[in-house]
Structure 1
Amino acid sequence: EVGVPEATWSDVNYHTLWFEFLPLIGAALVAAAANYYADKNFASSFIILFSIFLVISLSILWFMSKAPLQMDLFYPIILLWMSSVLICPIASLLALKGNVFFTLTFTFLIFALGLVSNWFLGGLLHNPGIRIVYSIIPNFQVFWIEEFWTKKEYIPIAYFWNVLKYVFLYCAGMLFLTWSILENREVSGGR
């Protein structure tokens, strides 16, 4: 199924298009209402609601789909989802200390640097300072497995679990760093 109207070489399933955009529109509307009526933060409300609405929408779309479910895409989808989980603590840390432009700019720069960290910093790992920077920057290359997409090879379950451990430990470390930096003001209510 194709959810892109410009793809004139294939049939366009409009229910797929609707189920792709309804979570986005619904989350924006509910988050705006929560911001206006309940004084909730729009960005965090939108992210949480969009995640929930997207899971519901894709589940409904899965039942409506005429095509068989491709289980070989399950692990790559989970890996890409884990990459978005990995960037969340970084964005949260930056959002607590800066405005929206600062947060988006530096989150994107960290994401882009994480995509090329092996190429950019890999040859300089003999330097202890570079090794520290390399361990702090998230390595997003572990989520995009070229062999799966080009050769259609299956992802080994051991690789999947190693990436899961990496995401868990990195997120725990970043959340601990955020908590330790903002302990007096944000977490414990100040002194």
Structure 2
Amino acid sequence: MNDMDMAEAERKDLAAFLAILTPQQWQATTLCDRWRVKDVVAHMLSYEELDTWGLAKRFAKGRLLRANQVGVDELATKTPEQLLDFLHAHLRPRGLTAGFGGMIALVDGTIHHQDIRRSLGMPRTIPPERLHRVLTAAHTNPRLGLPWRIRGLRLQATDLDWSTGNGPTVAGAGEALLMAMAGRPAVIGELNGPGLPTLAARLER
């Protein structure tokens, strides 16, 4: 599978999961600050039909740090059912989310899927091939702040053949490492190693 195929598979998994959620679960908080499940889904879809000009207008409207919130606000009136219908119509990434051969949709989709599942206490096992690809693609992503968070550390997955970096080790399941790299302090208790205090301090900033 290439990145685009994996991104589509991830979206199919997400759509199947969202379809079983109750109205109350759609309103539940997530690992994303201030965003409910509905907001996270809206964020994931808000870039789907934007072209370069549309993106420029969004950044101009919301500035760099608020562009994501602008997208969520634009879809705020849509119901969970409408968002799910939109997702079903865009299982194959297009537009900006299809960037880098689908890698943008794959990385963002996987992280945000876990933001929702972890907050609801509904874990899953990410297919190992897909998880390995996301870890490999994500660890150098400056947009997510990953290079800064893991600088001078070695991350070592304990459930698949993946590692990155040099320095004191932070070890744990690949999914937990991914979420830590993405800035989610909630997973710190699932990791260990001499580099953990450094990573934990960076996540709390």
| TM-score normalised per structure 2 | 0.26
**Bigger proportion of residues as helix:** 1
**Bigger proportion of residues as strand:** 2
| TM-score normalised per structure 1 | 0.27
Whose Rg is larger?
1
| Bigger relative contact order (CA 8 A; separation at least 6) | 2
